[in-house]
Amino acid sequence: MAARGCGAVWRRARQRGAGGPGPGPAPAPSPRGQRAVACNARGGAVPAGKSGLAPWIPVVGLEIHAQISSNSKLFSGAQVQFAAPPNSLVSFFDASLPGTLPVLNRRCVEAAVMTGLALNCSINKKSLFDRKHYFYADLPAGYQITQQRVPIAVNGSLSYSLCVDNKMSQMVTRTVRIKQIQLEQDSGKSLHDDTRSQTLVDLNRAGVGLMEVVMEPDMCCGEEAAAAVRELQLILQTLGSSQAVMAEGQLRVDANVSVHRPGEPYGVRTEVKNINSMRFLAKAVDYEIQRQIEELENGGTILNETRAFDSKLGCTVPMRDKEGKQDYRFMPEPNLPPLILYDEKSLPANMNHQQVINIDWIHKRLPDLPSVKREKLVEQYGILPEHSFTLLNEDGLAEFFETVVKQTQMKPKKVIGWILNDLLSYLKQHSLTVKESPVSSFLLADLLNLLEKKEISSTAAKQVLAELWKGEGKTPLEIVKEQKLELLQDQKELEQICQAVIDGQENE
């Protein structure tokens, strides 16, 4: 059966939680069908609860903010750059000076269209901008410009894979529906100095373009959520629409979590924020699911609240409400006309191409998405599917692999072993990226060629590689010569050596 990935998690979580689990009853079919059951179908250790009722079905939806990779902000000409001196990248508009107006950045729109297409969305040919009002120190205008009513892209899907029980050999593929992608402004950053009880505001980030990707609640555990986000991240990076580095806040994930019994409506959900790594995403979601189950089993209720993930404590804690119940008083943004996009059919003949965005044009130029790249790798090189995942998971590794394959006579199936077992593990050990590797693809190819031509043994090849890591600029051949690691193929030479050894013996 597919996907038992979550089961293990539940068991562990359960053991840490209150009460001994004991073998639960077999899971009843749920309205969410196989998947929900599957998710809870691990070895009877599902959190069935003391009550002995059917197990809980966790429901996880995600709201992901991806910072658009662009030179300038969504509505102003100010530069976008990470870790610049505070308030050095702020236009008059970003600081909300009176009388300034938003001017939509074409690049941001294109990035959103690309992302929408890559996520199988339908692109709205007409989308609208709205103002969302709330008072906060890092929101200078008192409102955020977003797309509440008609977003740029809707109704998409994302397929992602995850491995079962952490075994690379057992991969399953899932699909999550994408509700919408909307363009919106990022806020600035507030830094609270509690000792001096003041708040410092940095507006460098204020107005940077974001794509908010809303995923429907089609996931049921942290691992699924993390896998979906990881796939999204790869897609964004492949498209170049976002650098999507979580540590730099370019990809921010909020998780909506609830649990319910099979056949019952969804439970009250909480929103978990402050998740800043993929690992914490899985942890936070699983913690929250577990917390809700325990709360409910102890007779408590779940509050519709926002909770923050505390990565040090490994748990979620309620966030203090800023303004009580928020009414964002949405209103159409009057300074931006509707965003009109065209396709080949609707494109007016005499339109200046600089001024219009053609969806079909963008579609034709989409790069291969990770899933396609993986398939191609498997097909072209005959490597295992799970190896294709590993190749794509490391930035630049697939390219490295392909270059090596091109330069050697060695079979790709053999090359992959060197890439994954030797190169990758070395890089991981030394915390290096593929680009930082001291051994270039050319050097590795040279080395593998020596091996393939049987000029050296595979033991010798490892020795050479160990030498190559030092990065002293020697070629594999030079190292082989220096250390005399060649395999001897000349019959005469071999005889001579043998003779020499024998002679030596005799002399003694």
Partner 1 sequence: AMLRASLRQVSAALKEGRVTPTELCQRCLALIKSTKFLNAYITVAEETALKQAKESEERYKRGQPLGILDGIPVAVKDNFNTAGIETTCASNMLKGYISPYNATVVQKLLDQGAVLLGKTNLDEFAMGSGSTDGVFGPVRNPWSYSKQYKEKSVPKSHSEDEDFNWVITGGSSGGSAAAVSSFTCFAALGSDTGGSTRNPAAHCGVVGLKPTYGLISRHGLIPLVNSMDVPGILTRCVDDAAVLLGSLAGHDPKDSTTIQDDFKPFELPNLTDLSKLSIGIPKEYHAPGLSSEILALWSKAADLFKNAGAKVVEVSLPHTRYSIVCYHVLCTAEVASNMARFDGLEYGHRSDKKESTESMYAATRREGFNDVVRGRILSGNYFLLKQNYEKYFVKALKVRRLIANDFVKVFRSGVDILLTPTTLSDAAPYMEFIQEDNRTRSAQDDILTQAANMAGLPAINVPTALSERGLPVGLQFIGRSFQEKQLLTVAKWFEKQVQFPMIQLEEVKRHDSCVLQHQKSASFS
Footprint of partner 1 (CB under 8 A): 92, 95-104, 131, 133, 135, 137, 140-143, 199, 201, 327, 329-331, 334-337, 355
Q: Which of 132, 141, 129, 80 is nearest to 103 (CA)?
A: 129
Residue 102: CB minimum distance to partner 1, A:
7
What are the counts of helices (DSSP H) followed by strands (DSSP E) for the chain? Answer: 15, 16
Which residue number, 23 or 337, has a Cβ lying nearer to partner 1?
337
Which residue number, 315 or 336, has a Cβ lying nearer to partner 1?
336
Residue 108: CB minimum distance to partner 1, A:
14
Residue 335: CB minimum distance to partner 1, A:
5
425-447 in b/e form (b: 16+ CB < 10 A) is ebbeeeeeebeebebebebbbbb
Q: Which of 173, 228, 275 is nearest to 60 (CA)?
A: 228
Which residue number, 59 or 78, has a Cβ lying nearer to partner 1?
78
β-strand partners of 253: 64, 275
β-strand partners of 201: 190
Which residue number, 196 or 492, has a Cβ lying nearer to partner 1?
196
- CA dist., res. 295 & res. 302, Å (int): 7
- Write the burial class of residue 275 (CB in 10 Å: 0-12 exposed, 13-18 middle, 19+ buried): buried
Residue 96: CB minimum distance to partner 1, A:
4
Residue 103: CB minimum distance to partner 1, A:
6
Residue 105: CB minimum distance to partner 1, A:
11
Which residue number, 96 or 161, has a Cβ lying nearer to partner 1?
96
Which residue number, 95 or 257, has a Cβ lying nearer to partner 1?
95
The secondary structure of 309-350, three-state, reads EECCCCEEEECCCCCCCCCCCCEECCCCCCEECECCCCCCCC
- CA dist., res. 224 & res. 3, Å (int): 10
User: Please, which residues have CB within 8 angstroms of residue 52's CB and are 6 or more apart in sequence?
Assistant: 24, 25
Q: Judge contact between 215 and 229, C-beta under 8 A.
A: no
Q: How far is CA 304 from the centre of its chain?
A: 27
Which residue number, 192 or 435, has a Cβ lying nearer to partner 1?
192
- CA dist., res. 440 & res. 454, Å (int): 21
Q: Judge contact between 314 and 283, C-beta under 8 A.
A: yes
Residue 106: CB minimum distance to partner 1, A:
12
Which residue number, 152 or 450, has a Cβ lying nearer to partner 1?
152
Which residue number, 148 or 237, has a Cβ lying nearer to partner 1?
148
| SS3 label, residue 104 | coil
Residue 319: CB minimum distance to partner 1, A:
17
Residue 198: CB minimum distance to partner 1, A:
9
- CA dist., res. 322 & res. 255, Å (int): 19
